[in-house]
C-alpha cells in the first residue's frame, strides 16, 4: 500500500473518521518531515483517486473521511434493558411487539456487523461505547431477566458486543441541540422539544457520530481507536489519558485501583453465593505464592478457587505461572471462577463495580492445550 494512503488512514482514524484537508496535509507533513508542493499534489491525488477508501463530505471546509467509517455508528437507548444487556455482553431486540407488528428500531439490529460502534444511552448519560463482535444471531429467545410487563414477543435477534465503560457523559440540552443538527429526514433520536423519542436502536450519520465522540474526547481524551483497542491489562487507564493529555488512539485499560475494585467485587459476589450454600470460606488471596484465592470447605468437601473478574466476556482469562502450576497439581479440587460483564461506574470516586455473572468450572482439569502463550523471554 502507498505510504501516503497509510499516513492519511492513520490520521483520519485518530480524528474519528473525518478531518479537513488542511489538517490532513499538516499531519502528513509532520509524519514525513517534508513540506513541498509535490507532497500536497500527492495527497490531493490520493484522496481523489481512492473512492473506496476516502470520501469527501459536503462541508465547506473541504473535509475528507474514511469510507469504512460510513454506516458503522449506532445509538442505542437501554433504560429498561441496560443492566441485563451490559452484564451479558449483547443487544437483544424482538421480531414483533405484542400486537405482532415489526418496529423499525428493532429491525435495525439485523444490519449490525463486526466492527460497528454503538453509543449506549442510559438514564440521561452515555455510559458505554461498544464494538460489535459479530453479525446478529436469529431466533434468540427473549432473555428471562427482562420484565414480563414489556410488550415483546418471545423471539428476536441478539448481537454480541465488547462493552467499554467510559466516564458517563452527561447529555444536556446544548448537546441535544447540536446533535439535532445532524437529524435525518425520519426516525431520529430527539424531537424538536429536545425530548427523547421512543426508539431503541438507530443508525447514526457519520457526522453525528463524529460530533458525539469529539464531545466525549474533550472530557476524556479518548477516540474510536481507543475503544477498539481497549484491553483491561493496558498500562494506561482513562484517568491517565485524561491527566496526561497525550495523543489518543493507542487504547487504554484499567488502573491498578480499578483492577483491585473489579477483583474484590468478583471475590465478594462469589463468596456471598457460596456462603448462602453453606460453605466456609477462607480468603488466601493475599498470599501470592498460594496460586489460588479462596479455600472453601464443607464436611467432606473442599474447593481451591481461583477468582477472575472482568468487565468483558468469560471467553478468556490471564493466568499466572503459579496459578497454572497449582491448578494442575491440585486437580480435582481446583476451581476456576470467572465473574464477567462487571460494569464499572466511573461517575463515582472511587469507581463502583456492579452487575456481573458467575461462571464456575469445578474439577478444573487444566491442560497445556488450553493455554495460549502471550509473552516470551528471549535469551541473548
Query: Which residue range forms the structural domain that includes residue 266?
Result: 257-370
Beta strand spans in the chain (E): 18-20, 54-56, 63-66, 73-77, 90-94, 117-122, 125-132, 137-141, 155-170, 201-203, 280-283, 294-298, 301-309, 334-345, 352-361
Percent pLDDT > 70 in the chain is: 98
Query: Do 131 and 264 reside in the same domain of the chain?
Result: no
Q: Which one is predicted more confidently, 5 or 289? A: 5
Q: Is residue 245 part of a domain?
A: no
Among the residue ranges 25-34, 130-139, 239-248, the one predicted with the least confidence is 239-248
Q: Tell me what pLDDT residue 53 has.
A: 94
Q: What's the average model confidence in pLDDT over 52-56?
A: 93
Q: What's the average model confidence in pLDDT over 278-303?
A: 91
Query: Do 277 and 173 reside in the same domain of the chain?
Result: no
Q: Is residue 238 part of a domain?
A: no
Q: What's the average model confidence in pLDDT over 52-80?
A: 89
Q: Tell me what pLDDT residue 290 has.
A: 77
Give me the residue label for grid cell 491442560: 367
Q: What's the average model confidence in pLDDT over 173-194?
A: 94
Q: Tell me what pLDDT residue 39 has.
A: 86
Q: Is residue 236 part of a domain?
A: no
Q: Are 269 and 225 in contact (CB under 8 A)?
A: no
Q: Is residue 354 part of a domain?
A: yes
Among the residue ranges 163-177, 286-300, 329-343, the one predicted with the least confidence is 286-300
Indicate the pLDDT class of residue 1, thresholds 50, 70 and 90. very low
Q: Is residue 375 part of a domain?
A: no
Query: Do 32 and 90 reside in the same domain of the chain?
Result: no
Q: Is residue 230 part of a domain?
A: no
Query: Do 149 and 43 reside in the same domain of the chain?
Result: no
Q: What total number of domains does the chain contain?
A: 3
Query: Do 83 and 205 reside in the same domain of the chain?
Result: yes
Q: Is residue 237 part of a domain?
A: no
Query: Do 301 and 328 reside in the same domain of the chain?
Result: yes
Among the residue ranges 94-108, 117-131, 242-256, the one predicted with the least confidence is 242-256
Amino acid at each position: 500500500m502507498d505510504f501516503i494512503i497509510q499516513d492519511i488512514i492513520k490520521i483520519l482514524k485518530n480524528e474519528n473518521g473525518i478531518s479537513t484537508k488542511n489538517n490532513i496535509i499538516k499531519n502528513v507533513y509532520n509524519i514525513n518531515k517534508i513540506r513541498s508542493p509535490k507532497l500536497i499534489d500527492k495527497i490531493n491525488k490520493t484522496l481523489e483517486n481512492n473512492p473506496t477508501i476516502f470520501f469527501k463530505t459536503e462541508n465547506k471546509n473541504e473535509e475528507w473521511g474514511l469510507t469504512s467509517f460510513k454506516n458503522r455508528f449506532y445509538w442505542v437507548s437501554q433504560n429498561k434493558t441496560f443492566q441485563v444487556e451490559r452484564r451479558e455482553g449483547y443487544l437483544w431486540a424482538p421480531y414483533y411487539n405484542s400486537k405482532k407488528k415489526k418496529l423499525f428500531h428493532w429491525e435495525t439490529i439485523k444490519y449490525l456487523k463486526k466492527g460497528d460502534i454503538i453509543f449506549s444511552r442510559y438514564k440521561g448519560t452515555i455510559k458505554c461505547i461498544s464494538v460489535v463482535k459479530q453479525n446478529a444471531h436469529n431466533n434468540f429467545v427473549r432473555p428471562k431477566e427482562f420484565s414480563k410487563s414489556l410488550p415483546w414477543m418471545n423471539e428476536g435477534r441478539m448481537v454480541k458486543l465488547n462493552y467499554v465503560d467510559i466516564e458517563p457523559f452527561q447529555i444536556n440540552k446544548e448537546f441535544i441541540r447540536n446533535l439535532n443538527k445532524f437529524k435525518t429526514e425520519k426516525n431520529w433520536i430527539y424531537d424538536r422539544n429536545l425530548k427523547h423519542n421512543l426508539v431503541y436502536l438507530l443508525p447514526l450519520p457519520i457526522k453525528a457520530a463524529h460530533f458525539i465522540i469529539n464531545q466525549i474526547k474533550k472530557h476524556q481524551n479518548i477516540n474510536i481507536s481507543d475503544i477498539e483497542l481497549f484491553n483491561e491489562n493496558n498500562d494506561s487507564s482513562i484517568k491517565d489519558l485524561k491527566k496526561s493529555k497525550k495523543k489518543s488512539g493507542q487504547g487504554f485499560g484499567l488502573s491498578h485501583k480499578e483492577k483491585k475494585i473489579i477483583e474484590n467485587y468478583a471475590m465478594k459476589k462469589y463468596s456471598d453465593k457460596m456462603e448462602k450454600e453453606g460453605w466456609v470460606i477462607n480468603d488466601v488471596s493475599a498470599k501470592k505464592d498460594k496460586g489460588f484465592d479462596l479455600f472453601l470447605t464443607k464436611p467432606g468437601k473442599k474447593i481451591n478457587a481461583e477468582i477472575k473478574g472482568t468487565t468483558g466476556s468469560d471467553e478468556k482469562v490471564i493466568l499466572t505461572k503459579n496459578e497454572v502450576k497449582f491448578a494442575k497439581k491440585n486437580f480435582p479440587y481446583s476451581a476456576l471462577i470467572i465473574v464477567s460483564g462487571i460494569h464499572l461506574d466511573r461517575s463515582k470516586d472511587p469507581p463502583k463495580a456492579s452487575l456481573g455473572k458467575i461462571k464456575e468450572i469445578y474439577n478444573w482439569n487444566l491442560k497445556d492445550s488450553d493455554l495460549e502463550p502471550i509473552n516470551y523471554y528471549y535469551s541473548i
